[in-house]
Amino acid sequence: MKIELKAIKHSEFASQETNCYQANLYVDGKKIGIVSNDGHGGCDAFHGDDEAFARANAWCRANLPKWKMGFGPNPEEERETDLEMHCASLLNDHLMKKDYTRLVSTKVLFTKTKGHVLYEIKHHGQVDLTAAQIREQHPDGTILNLLPPEEALAIFRAGMTG
């Protein structure tokens, strides 16, 4: 089952305990409704085809990997990934790609070694020249701007999340 968020609207300033957003929810290429969150820590709201939502939710619970909270009274307890959690993950991916795209438009992002600590240098429109200078100083480093987008995003995500 292919689940997607489209026409995403995110409000950074209104996001407090959760992301404040609204998006069209698609399942297998068909819009089934709108999912949103007001950003105050509550659950997502869904408006649309409730039966399609229930099928997608059941599919997520049965097929997506379980996750751990990492804190609280039972930090190692595994939890099912429901559709709401999957939508949060899709939204986070969207926001991460947006941040990455914004950054590489003006900066070269790199690691100094095979680690995931990210560094940045303004490239002033000369990505190749800046990258060559970085490579001279850090031959074991990785320059994200020169990688395929998905590979660069994986390194960027790891560097941003710890």
pLDDT at residue 162 in the model:
58
pLDDT grade for 1, boundaries at 50, 70 and 90:
very high
pTM of the model: 0.85
pLDDT at residue 75 in the model:
81
Average pLDDT rounded to a whole number, residues 145-152:
93
Question: b vs e for 67-84, b when ≥16 Cβ sit within 10 Å of the residue's Cβ?
Answer: eeeeeeeeeeeeeebbbb
Spatial distance between the Cα atoms of 21 and 86, rounded to a whole number of angstroms: 14
Average pLDDT rounded to a whole number, residues 58-63:
98
Q: By C-alpha distance, which of 32, 27, 34 is closest to 8? A: 34
Spatial distance between the Cα atoms of 105 and 108, rounded to a whole number of angstroms: 8
Tokens 């795209």 found at: 101
Spatial distance between the Cα atoms of 106 and 125, rounded to a whole number of angstroms: 7
Residue 144: pLDDT above 70?
yes
Give φ, ψ of 113 to 5 degrees: -135, -165
The predicted-structure confidence for 153-162, as pLDDT tens digits, reads as follows 999 988 876 5
Top pLDDT among 76 and 19 is at 19
CA distances from 71 to 67, 77, 78 (A): 12, 10, 12
The two three-digit tokens of residue 99, written as one number: 């941040």
Residue 116: pLDDT above 80?
no
Torsion angle defined by CA atoms of residues 37, 91, 11 and 24, in that order, rounded to the nearest 10 degrees: -70
The predicted-structure confidence for 85-96, as pLDDT tens digits, reads as follows 999 999 999 999
CA 145 to chain centre: 18
Top pLDDT among 75 and 59 is at 59
Residue 72: pLDDT above 80?
no
Residue 115: pLDDT above 70?
no
The predicted-structure confidence for 22-57, as pLDDT tens digits, reads as follows 999 999 999 999 999 999 999 999 999 999 999 999
